Amino acid sequence: MIRQSVRVLLFSLFLFFLLIEMLNEKGCVPAVQNADDRTPFVSIISVLNPVGISGLCSLYATSPLLFFTNLGRLPVWEKILFPGVVVIVFCLFYKRFFCRWICPVGLLQDAGRWLRRKGNHCSCLKCLDKKCPQKKQFPFIGRTFAIVSLAALPVSGLLGMVLWSCFWLDPLALGSMVFRGLPGAGTVAAVLILLLIISPYFWCFSCCPTGAVQDIFYGMNRFLKRRFEKVKNNLGDQKRLTESSFDVDSTGRETTSPNKLMDHRSDRKTVYETGTKENRTRTRRRFFLGAGIGGLIVFTGEYLFHRNVEAGRNRVYFRPPGTVSEDDFLLRCIRCGHCVSRCPTQLIRPVRDSVLLFNTPQLIYDPAFCRDDCNICTEVCPVHVLRPLSLSRKKQVKLARVGVDLKHCRLYYQRECSICRRECPEEAIKFVWSEDEYANIPTVDPDLCNGCGRCVSFCPGEREDSEVLKMQRLNRRNFMDGFDSADHYRKGLFLEPFDKSR
Amino acid sequence: MKLSELSRRNWLKTVGLGLGATAVNLAGIPTQRAQADFVYRENMTTGTLHDGTEAVPCRLEDDKVIRPAKEIPQISETDVLVVGGGPAGCVAAIAAARAGVRVTLVERYGHFGGLATGGLVVHILGHWTMENGEKIQVCQGIGEEMMKRLESLPNGIINRENKRNPTLDAEVYKYLLVEMITEANIDVFLHSWALDAIMDDEPDPETGHPVIRGVVFQTKTGPQAILAKQVIDTTGDGDIFATSGAAYTQRMYTIGLPCRLGNLDQVTPPEGTERPRFLGDPTPVPGVNWVNMGGPDADGCDVRTLSQLELQHRKRIWKQFLDIHATPGYEKVFLMETAPQIGVRITRVIEGVETLTLDDAKAGKKYDDCIGIGGAWGGDHIGWQIPYRALLPKNVENLITAGRSISGEPRMSDVIRVIPNCWVSGHGAGCAAAVAVQNHCIARNVPIETVQRLLLEQKAWLG
């Protein structure tokens, strides 16, 4: 009862923060903001937010999967303060702590199981615990994912890139994607709910990599404990390990009769908790099987990944500020949509025209641009593919390169304009007099320009002059048009990717 | 009827009539006054100027040119003296006159409108802003009245609808300004170049700053002085505050020379012809375009630079015109007019009590002494308040500036300099000067609430 309440509470918190973001001025909390301007909501967030990430992200950060796969990339302070640390510690002693107390999908799973409680299935989530006689076994998809992900970590560290990751399967990432209404959210939600109704266990116990990570750590705890007991046995010349000593939960909650436990254990086929020789062999077999499948998946993943990268290289996307290298980015981004929904100018939009890059954030300039008083996207990324940047650092990050298209620049036609120069927050645009063209030519200083796109957004542009114009008509209309950006206007400035591979 | 359409018969007729009238004038009956003038000129005393004062030429002493001391005749005395009849000056003069004080307006050329007419900058850029997705016209008051009246005149203004950036016709605006200034009973001196500020011999007892008492103008009559209680410097180049000793910044900015092209409605380019680049934009007169010009950054107060640029730009305009003329289908296009006045954009900018910055403008900074709202060129930022203190020099009393020379950082001056903003600041300056005269106080201590009330009475918009 308490557990459900806590979970509902956290779930409500999850929704509550989402609501705040929607209410709170397009969701932007610029780092420079007068204390007076802050709404109470924003103040709450900042109180809840000791490491500079928003409240919602703190909830995110409870996911052990996200913690582990980002271990190498988190700043030191966040390594310690990451709420996932606490959750991991709990997971060591308390099986599937995260699933039971925090996970919103777990809540759904409970609901799904409740719907099917008359069926052949176990009626409690404790079926994961020792006592469930009816626990069904499925191939450990999630575990394979998780093991491969974790195993890839050191390799990734050596190679400096991520080999494989299944972040986006994290229930919080999925939940966020659904609640933020990113493209595909409906499908994900529908599949998940259907799955949970048809087979309440399937997702949580067999697919979910976050659940698997918890299992692994819980199992590690047990494994270590057993080793410890063994050593103790050898040293102390005590009698063989008894069944009951196995099952003393760290919480010391319950002990049951050895016989009953025996029965149940032979039924359970988790990797590390089996004590008998037969089971260990099966475990090994399973492990190699898993490794084989894992390897296959890695190869497939790599193949897809390279296609991903190729796709990314062929159609270059502008990525948000602070983004890690594109290769790294493609696999580590969990597509949660935080940056997308928090961007005050709606510059960051999800990619929709690529299956593999689906929902990764990209920058769609004009009329949107990157505000120079905002670094919210770099602060909200739960997996730090957008590195946390201070305002001044963010201003130095180069998002794109600004080019000048003279044929569509007003100055080239000797029309009065200086909007780009005035709008540039970095004062990177200078007008240089050209005696040959007899016009002032805008030139962009590549050292100062950070590609925020403000100039492009405000460029009034010049008429597209592809056809011979009838001067009669020409004289009846005014090009200036109050600078209305109609279709027939083309901008004098444009953005191009700063560096494709970054 | 256009010049190009003039037939031989009509031409003969016109010329004949003109010659006939001249002949009648010469041979026949000169008026009484004209006769007297002839006599007067014949009887000029040797060594006197046209106004009867003694000619005191400059002398070369030790290879230095020295101007000897000389008493300068006072041609007029007035309440508010507006120097410079550009957009800001005309609005300032009209606003002050409507407030009920005596106003004198002095202009160096023979027409009003400054760069808007003589400089052929016929484009009204930046009189509206975009706020909450809506276009708001921030330039109201006399500026808006002018645009409305231009609308009622034939070929006066185009593109007024939908709050776009309109284009006016220089000649119609010249006429309109004459009409409005005459209506307001303003004393006018044309062809008078400001020479020097006249400072009181005693500083202001309250602030200790020198007080301006009038301006000396160089005219064909000779140097003439006009005394005034308040002086508004709308010369654009800040000639008055520079000579009065006020603190200012000298800026270099792009200087160009616009021109007008005619017969553009008779262009018949064959298929595939590339449009010439410097065709400019349409004006209210059908078939006439005005062609703006940028230019190198140069010192607009340096006479040598101005002369050189004038020569260079005129050559360039002719080359541009020949290029257009040589384009198939454009043979009938003719160079109608080059701007009589070179397009100096920014020169001297006063160091005001308050200095406008672009960041403040974008942030929508509020001032309690706001006398008007400036606009944005392309809806790129919100309306910005113009504080009265930005019009006041730091260290001279009774002098107000308006137009492009009000206090602002370089990037802000670029926003300030356009016509609607000059109208708005001129309106504020005129009202403030009138209130100062009526309240017998120095311009710095003018009761700003009264000024704002007066501005609102004159339909200005203060946000």
ipTM above 0.85, yes or no: no
Task: Mention every residue, 6+ apart, whose C-beta is less than 8 A from residue B229.
Answer: B78, B79, B80, B398, B436, B437
DSSP B250-264: E--EEEE--EEEE-G
% helix, strand, coil for chain A, step of 5: 55, 5, 40
Q: Are A482 and B167 an interchain contact pair (Cβ–Cβ within 8 Å)?
A: no
Tell me which of A349 and B152 has the higher pLDDT.
Answer: B152
* Interface size between A and B, measured as CB pairs under 8 A: 104
> Which residues 145-164 of B have a C-beta within 8 angstroms of A?
158-159, 162-164
Mean pLDDT of A454-483: 50
Chain A contacts of B158, Cβ < 8 Å?
478
CA A431/CA A411 separation, integer angstroms? 9
DSSP-based three-state secondary structure for B405: helix
Q: What is the mean pLDDT of chain A?
A: 65
Chain A contacts of B256, Cβ < 8 Å?
414
Confidence tier at A482 by pLDDT (50, 70, 90): very low
CA B451/CA B431 separation, integer angstroms? 6
Q: Which of B374, B316, B306 is nearest to B341 (CA)?
A: B306
Q: Which of A309-323, B5-19, B329-343 has the lowest mean pLDDT?
A: B5-19
pLDDT of residue A114: 66
Q: Are A433 and B294 an interchain contact pair (Cβ–Cβ within 8 Å)?
A: yes
pLDDT per residue over A418-451, tens digit each?
888 988 888 899 999 999 888 999 999 989 998 8
Q: Does pLDDT of A34 surpass 50? A: no
Q: Does pLDDT of B343 surpass 50? A: yes
Burial of B123: CB neighbours in 10 Å, binned 0-12, 13-18, 19+: buried
Q: Which of B115-129, B370-384, B389-403 has the lowest mean pLDDT?
A: B370-384
How large a percentage of chain B has pLDDT more than 70? Answer: 89
- Region for B222 from its dihedrals, namely left if φ exceeds 0, alpha if ψ lies in -120 to 50, beta otherwise: left
Mean pLDDT of A314-337: 73
Which of the 8 DSSP states describes residue A442?
E
How wide is the angle at C-alpha A105 spanned by C-alphas A103 and A109, nearest 5°? Answer: 115
Q: What is the mean pLDDT of chain B?
A: 88
- Compute CA distances B201 → A305, B208, B241, whole Å: 85, 12, 17
Confidence tier at B19 by pLDDT (50, 70, 90): low
CA A364/CA B367 separation, integer angstroms? 37
Tell me if A452 sits within 8 A of A399, measured CB to CB.
Answer: yes
Q: Which of A102-106, B329-333, B343-347 has the lowest mean pLDDT?
A: A102-106
A376 phi and psi angles, rounded to 5 deg: -65, -35
Confidence tier at A291 by pLDDT (50, 70, 90): low
pLDDT of residue A171: 75
Mean pLDDT of B328-347: 93
Single-letter amino acid, residue B437: V
Confidence tier at A401 by pLDDT (50, 70, 90): confident
pLDDT per residue over A201-249, tens digit each?
677 776 777 777 777 777 777 777 777 787 777 766 544 444 444 444 4
For A475, the closest of B264, B277, B316 (CB atoms) is B264
Mean pLDDT of B416-425: 94
pLDDT of residue A148: 65
Most confident of the ranges A19-33, A43-57, B32-46, B241-255: B241-255
Chain A contacts of B275, Cβ < 8 Å?
465, 468-469
Which stretches of A142-221 are assigned E, i.e. beta strand?
Answer: none
Which of the 8 DSSP states describes residue B462?
-
Mean pLDDT of B378-395: 87
pLDDT of residue B409: 94
Q: Does pLDDT of A40 surpass 80? A: no
DSSP A469-498: PPHHHHHHS-SSGGG---TTEE-SEEEEES
Q: Does pLDDT of A382 surpass 80? A: no
pLDDT per residue over B240-270, tens digit each?
999 999 999 999 999 999 999 999 888 888 8
Tell me which of A161 and B380 has the higher pLDDT.
Answer: B380
Q: Are A469 and B275 an interchain contact pair (Cβ–Cβ within 8 Å)?
A: yes
Chain B contacts of A433, Cβ < 8 Å?
254, 294-297
The secondary element (H helix, E strand) that includes residue B195 is: strand B193-199
pLDDT per residue over B87-142, tens digit each?
999 999 999 999 999 999 999 999 999 999 999 999 888 888 877 777 788 999 99
Mean pLDDT of B183-193: 95
B431 phi and psi angles, rounded to 5 deg: -65, -40
pLDDT of residue A217: 74
pLDDT of residue A203: 73
Mean pLDDT of A15-22: 60
Structure tokens at B156: 């006066």
Q: Does pLDDT of A271 surpass 80? A: no
Contact status of B267 with chain A (Cβ, < 8 Å):
yes
CA A78/CA B96 separation, integer angstroms? 66
Q: Are B254 and A431 an interchain contact pair (Cβ–Cβ within 8 Å)?
A: yes
DSSP-based three-state secondary structure for B228: strand
pLDDT of residue A309: 56
A239 Cα distance to chain centroid: 50
DSSP B335-374: EEEE-SS-EE---EEE-BSS-B-HHHHHHT---TTEEEEE
Nearest-CA distance A391 → chain B (Å): 17
Nearest-CA distance B390 → chain A (Å): 20
DSSP-based three-state secondary structure for B135: strand
Confidence tier at A502 by pLDDT (50, 70, 90): very low
Q: How many CB atoms lie within 10 A of CB A290?
A: 19
pLDDT per residue over A122-138, tens digit each?
444 445 444 454 444 44
CA A124/CA A110 separation, integer angstroms? 8
CA A482/CA B379 separation, integer angstroms? 8
pLDDT of residue B40: 59
Mutate to test the interface with A, among B168, B259, B281 (most CBs of A within 10 A): B281
| Number of helical (H) and strand (E) elements in chain A, helices listed first | 23, 8
Q: Are A439 and B294 an interchain contact pair (Cβ–Cβ within 8 Å)?
A: yes
Q: Which of A45-54, A75-84, B31-40, B364-373 has the lowest mean pLDDT?
A: A45-54
Q: Which of A35-49, A386-400, A453-467 has the lowest mean pLDDT?
A: A35-49
pLDDT of residue A116: 61
Mutate to test the interface with B, among A421, A480, A489, A493 (most CBs of B within 10 A): A480
CA A451/CA A365 separation, integer angstroms? 10
Mean pLDDT of B150-161: 90
Tell me which of A375 and B35 has the higher pLDDT.
Answer: A375
DSSP-based three-state secondary structure for B178: helix
CA A22/CA B154 separation, integer angstroms? 53
